Structure 1
Amino acid sequence: MQRTSGSARDQPNSSATRPRCSSSQRIKQPNPQYTTMPKTILITGTNPGGIGNSLAREFHAKGLRVFATARNTDSITDLAEIGIETLSLEVTDPESIKALKEEVASRTSGSLDYLVNNAGRNYTVPATDIDFEQVQLTYEVNVFGVMRMCQAFTPLLIEAKGTIVQIGSLAGVMPYVFGSVYNSTKAALHSYSNTLRVELEPFDVKVVTVVTGGVKSRIARNDWQLPRDSIYLPIEAEYLRRTKHSQEVGMPNEKYAKSVVSQVLGGRHKRQFWEGSFSHIVWFLTTFMPARIFDYIFWRNFGMWKLREAHTKKVA
């Protein structure tokens, strides 16, 4: 009897006749982990020893493409040595900001994921002793410079649906004595940022303010002195102690940077968060206690009561 042709044994074995590829010949699909471009971040004020330098290092360690800025890039070669791109910026100069924007846009195809406005300037002098040239310069760096940076880089941030991170301060929410000028610049920054957040929300750009407590940095490096005719000379020792106070009790800037970077990249889109020494205590006091609590704290801690006694004796 003739065997039928339908037997499986007589059919061509497709697996046997199909050419086999070795593992080295197979076409590998690209791994998204390695094809995705890293997010980009621009940070102002990144000189060694400061908050910005530690932020640049920490964002770089997390895999971001970091653009770090300083007036003179020779001062931030430590960042260039680890692969961070360093660029020149003077935040008080509109032309410098314009040139920086064009350079960053050319390197990123016109987008920016994060802008960190960290550059800042301290000015610790009693309100009645201020030098208005110093006041103007402090506002140029702490307020107008931030405004210029946000205005210039908004198109790049919109393109990336990015985030602006403003480095604020506890000084913006409490009457830190002998810091009226600096305090007012940070209060202005907080208010400006709150409004900017609402105005940029339709474009999917987020604005986050970091209310910064005590952090060891370079911001208190200036040796301010009282004028010889200052009405605060009776408590000059307390004044000098105040000029260094934030550094004496400050959190290491590396620890601060790790926490800030973790929160910025963590996906929880907070409008504001508090970091640094005493930040959570101050948050509690500003939230649940009357404002006069700070009057008492600073009156006691920085010798205002001694000044009252000295003044009373003088007029008696």
Structure 2
Amino acid sequence: MDDYALSFWIYMGVMAVFVTGTLKRFLAAHVSAMPSLLAWLGATLLVERLCALCMPAVLALAALCAACWLYAAWAAPAPTLPVEGKAVFITGCDTGFGHATAKRLDALGFEVFATVLNLEGQGAKHLRSSCSPRLTLIQVDITQPQQVQQALITTTSKLGMKGLWAVVNNAGVCVNFGDAELSLMSNYRGCMEVNFFGTLSVTKAFLPLLRQNKGRILNISSPSGDQPFPCLASYGASKAALNLFTNTLRHELEPWGVKVCTILPSAFKTGQSSNTEYWEKQYEHLLQNLPPSLLEEYGEEYLMETKELFQSHAKTACEDLSPVVNTIVEALLATHPQARYYAGPGVGLMYFIHSFFPSSLSESFLKKLFMKKTVIPRALRKQNGMTLLNHNNNDISSNNNNITTITTKHPE
């Protein structure tokens, strides 16, 4: 009986170690590590079966020791490269990820070249006052090739023979509002100019320096470039182009020793995302530029709900940018950086569902996660004999709180 009790508790210990390891890999959720995750799950099931077959206490104890040793070896931090002598060029440092990354890398001892749109802006002033003299601020609009070339000349002249270790392509915009049909052509062009062509211009300009130093390229992308997020067609299309370019570049630069990584953040408060006035201007601009016939078919109440959902989503986004900054640092200093990094809460689980579940379930998950639309386009309501009522059953588009319900009119 005592031997059985000992075996039972050792069995529970072994299972705890393996299940904990499995959960840790799942929560990390790097899709590139899925084979390892599946192998870990297989090992868990194997140990569970062996223990279920009443393995002797001594053998179970040996298995527990081996499991603990393997877990400790696996959980040990990977060796990193030294910071000394490494220079990094970062775009889009006025605010958000770029600003926070420039400060962190400077504090770690990197020589940082930080680009901003405005050298007299608040972001640039804050970097000047809070960072060391190693940090160099350069005014660059990445959609202007001559400014990119001037940034290359400035960086090269200051580096001398030292070379450049990495480029962090962070600059990006999301000039988007509404469904794919409702998004203006200027939105599509604006996103592509910055998120794709601007990043492409910087990458091509700085590649000779990176090849010379066997350095790294880190592109800050978005899950919307891989998955069909509702109402993010223009932004997602530009990030999809960036993702394909990054993956192609990674294969092509492998013989040169240049590592190329994609950083995929979850939702964070950056740039104008939490600015109520910004969303109001976007909404008014859309109303003024949509064809009247299209506006009539969708209805202002449909656009209003979309704006409010974007605002609500922005308010709930994470303010702590450290998960992304930490991931950038990891990618810069890892001896063997991963092709893709998933930074922030929930994004790993989202990719796990996208990669291993049916597309219908994955897309349903995205709709519930991001844009829980309840208002139906006006033309569809008319086709289905519906009217939009408020809670007092008055025929108006929305009440003062913008709370609406859909009610079907039945024949008398």
- TM-score bin (small chain): 0.7 to 0.9
Shift in Å at residue 250 of structure 1?
A: 2.4
- 1:137-187 residue CA offsets vs partner (Å, 9 max, x unmatched): 221100000111111000100111100000011111211111100011111
- 1:82-134 residue CA offsets vs partner (Å, 9 max, x unmatched): 22211111100000001110110111125210100000010222211222223
Matched, 1:238 2:305: yes
CA distance in 2, matches of 1:54, 1:70: 13
Instruction: Flag the 1:298–1:206 CA change in 2: closer, same or farther, 3 A.
Output: closer
**Partners of 1:215 and 1:251 within 8 A in 2:** yes
**Partners of 2:176 and 2:234 within 8 A in 1:** yes
**Alignment root-mean-square deviation, CA:** 2.1
- 1:47-76 residue CA offsets vs partner (Å, 9 max, x unmatched): 13x110001111112211111111222221
**If the length of structure 1 is used for normalisation, what is the TM-score?**
0.81
Instruction: Flag the 1:255–1:247 CA change in 2: closer, same or farther, 3 A.
Output: farther
**Partners of 2:266 and 2:347 within 8 A in 1:** yes
* Structure 1 counterpart of 2:359: 291
CA distance in 1, matches of 2:142, 2:195: 9
Matched, 1:41 2:108: no
- 1:19-50 residue CA offsets vs partner (Å, 9 max, x unmatched): xxxxxxxxxxxxxxxxx9520001000013x1
* Structure 2 counterpart of 1:61: 107
* Structure 1 counterpart of 2:376: 307
Shift in Å at residue 298 of structure 1?
A: 4.4
Shift in Å at residue 237 of structure 1?
A: 4.4
SS in 2 for 1:155: helix
Matched, 1:191 2:261: no
Picking from 57, 73, 85, the partner of 2:119 is 73
Letter in 1 for 2:93: T
Structure of larger gyration radius: 1
Letter in 2 for 1:93: Q
Shift in Å at residue 242 of structure 1?
A: 3.2
SS in 2 for 1:73: coil
Equivalence map 1:1-316=2 (5 Å): 38-48=85-95, 50-75=96-121, 76-81=124-129, 82-83=131-132, 84-109=135-160, 111-125=163-177, 126-220=179-273, 221=275, 222-223=278-279, 224-225=282-283, 226-227=286-287, 229=292, 230=295, 231=298, 233-244=300-311, 245-300=313-368, 302-304=371-373, 306-307=375-376, 311-315=379-383, 316=385
Instruction: Flag the 1:241–1:150 CA change in 2: closer, same or farther, 3 A.
Output: same
Further displaced range: 140-149 or 294-303: 294-303
Instruction: Flag the 1:62–1:73 CA change in 2: closer, same or farther, 3 A.
Output: same
- 1:270-305 residue CA offsets vs partner (Å, 9 max, x unmatched): 111111232112121122112222432344453445
CA distance in 2, matches of 1:42, 1:52: 10
Instruction: Flag the 1:280–1:298 CA change in 2: closer, same or farther, 3 A.
Output: closer
CA distance in 2, matches of 1:242, 1:294: 20
SS in 1 for 2:218: strand
**If the length of structure 2 is used for normalisation, what is the TM-score?**
0.63
Gaps of 5+ in 2: 1-82, 386-412
**Partners of 1:214 and 1:251 within 8 A in 2:** no
CA distance in 2, matches of 1:259, 1:161: 20
- 1:187-232 residue CA offsets vs partner (Å, 9 max, x unmatched): 1111110001111111111100001111221152432215275315
**Partners of 1:249 and 1:277 within 8 A in 2:** no
Instruction: Flag the 1:194–1:288 CA change in 2: closer, same or farther, 3 A.
Output: same
Further displaced range: 67-76 or 182-191: 67-76
**Partners of 1:215 and 1:247 within 8 A in 2:** no
- 1:246-277 residue CA offsets vs partner (Å, 9 max, x unmatched): 45222511343123313432323211111123
CA distance in 2, matches of 1:288, 1:246: 28
**Partners of 1:158 and 1:204 within 8 A in 2:** yes
Identity of aligned residues (%): 25
* Structure 2 counterpart of 1:11: none
| Aligned length, in residue pairs | 279
CA distance in 1, matches of 2:374, 2:354: 23
SS in 2 for 1:164: strand
Instruction: Flag the 1:257–1:247 CA change in 2: closer, same or farther, 3 A.
Output: farther
The structure richer in helix per residue is: 2
**Partners of 1:98 and 1:152 within 8 A in 2:** yes
